[in-house]
Amino acid sequence: MLAPVLATGTFLPPTKQFVQNISSHKHFLLNGFEELGELRPVLFIPFFLMFIVALLANSLLIYVIVSQRSLHQPMSILIAGMACVDFCIPVFFVPNMLLNFLFDWKGISLIGCLVQMHFIHFFGTFQSTFLVWMALDRYFAICTPLSYHELMAPEKFLKFIIPLAGRNILLITLIVSLAGKLSFCRNVMNHCFCEHMALVELACGSIAINNLVGLISVFFIPFFDFLFIAASYLMMFSSILRSSSTSVKALHTCITHAMVITLSITVALIAFLSYRIKNSLPAAVRVFFSTMYLLFPSCLNPIVYGIRTTEIRQHMLKTLTHWKHFVQTKSSEIIS
């Protein structure tokens, strides 16, 4: 989701200077939800179920769009791209988190932590970026319908893809690289996975540059993306209200995307505020919100797009029915 970047921009006061000869930690303990004590392993069940739902729902959505030629339209391809992002995000942190809950495997190396952080934040930025591309698709379809296919042709649309993708790669690589250069005086991270905020607050000395780059990333990725999306949808709804010829389908699609965007903003805001007021919140609550802003959208987005988009819903039902008949046939053959 969007909050992986928001968390990088949270301002942290510089810590006191430590003696220069203190060695920097290279291994860390992920200690999230430690307050639950013996109940901590119970968390395996809900997070495992959400992980399975995210993998299966997004896999089904990707398969249906790729396998059905009638769905090879710009918006469906963008939905498949969003599903790829929603599939990848939990893969990079949930398995380790589940092993942590079940077997108390808490250790992670600095390199492993930085790699995990890079992929979580990198794919997190593309959640808002795909929403920008979807907003552009709807804007062209509603406000310039006669030029829609020309504007959404791959060679034309690349001018919107390359700058935003390059921005995400550059800023996230910079954030992670700067975090990797820090010296760490503590190695117990009150989190279930490596997040920029959780790692940087363990550093010795000043982290002013990390804060500055984090805030710049917040401005140029989620803040810019949501300003662009909001402006696009304002123009779209204005066009819909002024035009009597706009189809119900276009309005229906806009409402679907507006629901997803509203949900993304709400979850990101809760996670961001949970860091800003962390002294007033139990640590377990903060860790819960910062985990759910990654996992919950990965579960919900494929369901929203699968149910609210008629063509995709119909093909998903056909695919599930076909698989059901196939399993029943194979089962009957085995029994007989």
Q: How many angstroms separate the Cα of 181 from the Cα of each of 38, 117, 266? A: 36, 14, 33
**Would you state the pLDDT for residue 250?**
64
pLDDT top residue among 292 and 10: 292
Do residues 189 and 93 touch, judged by C-beta distance below 8 A? Answer: no
What's at 203, amino acid-wise?
A
What would the mean pLDDT of 257-285 be, rounded to a whole number? 71
Inform me whether the pLDDT recorded for 6 exceeds 90.
Answer: no
Q: What is the pLDDT of residue 130?
A: 92
Q: Nearest-CA neighbor of 304 among 292, 294, 312, 293?
A: 312
pLDDT of residue 18: 40
- Of 246 and 202, more confident: 202
CA distances from 145 to 137, 139, 152, 248 (A): 10, 9, 11, 14
Name all contacts of 286-289 with Cβ < 8 Å and 24+ positions apart.
Answer: 287/32, 287/33, 287/190, 287/191, 287/192, 288/33
Q: How confident is the model at residue 19 (pLDDT cuts 50, 70, 90)?
A: very low
pLDDT at 21: 42
Query: Band of the pLDDT at 278, cuts 50, 70, 90?
Result: low
56-65, 127-136, 210-219: which range is least confident on average? 210-219
Q: Note the residue count of the chain.
A: 336
- 52 Cβ partners below 8 Å, 6+ apart? none
Residue 325 to residue 318: CA distance in whole angstroms: 11
pLDDT at residue 324 above 50?
yes
Which range is least confidently modeled, 77-91, 176-190, 295-309? 295-309
Q: Which pLDDT value is given to residue 20?
A: 43
Question: How far is C-alpha 228 from the chain's CA centre?
Answer: 19
CA 101-106-111 angle, to 5 degrees, is: 135
Pairing of strands 188-189, 107-109: unpaired
pTM of the model: 0.85
Pure H helices in the chain = 3-8, 44-67, 74-91, 94-103, 110-143, 148-151, 154-180, 196-200, 208-218, 224-242, 248-276, 283-308, 310-335
Percent of the chain with pLDDT over 90: 38
147: pLDDT strictly greater than 50: yes
Query: For 104-129, b where at least 16 C-beta lie within 10 A, e where not — what string?
Result: eebebebeebbebbbbbbbbbbbbbb
- To 10 degrees, the CA torsion angle through 56, 59, 60, 65? 160
Task: Please tell me the predicted confidence (pLDDT) of residue 23.
Answer: 58
DSSP SS3 for 27: strand
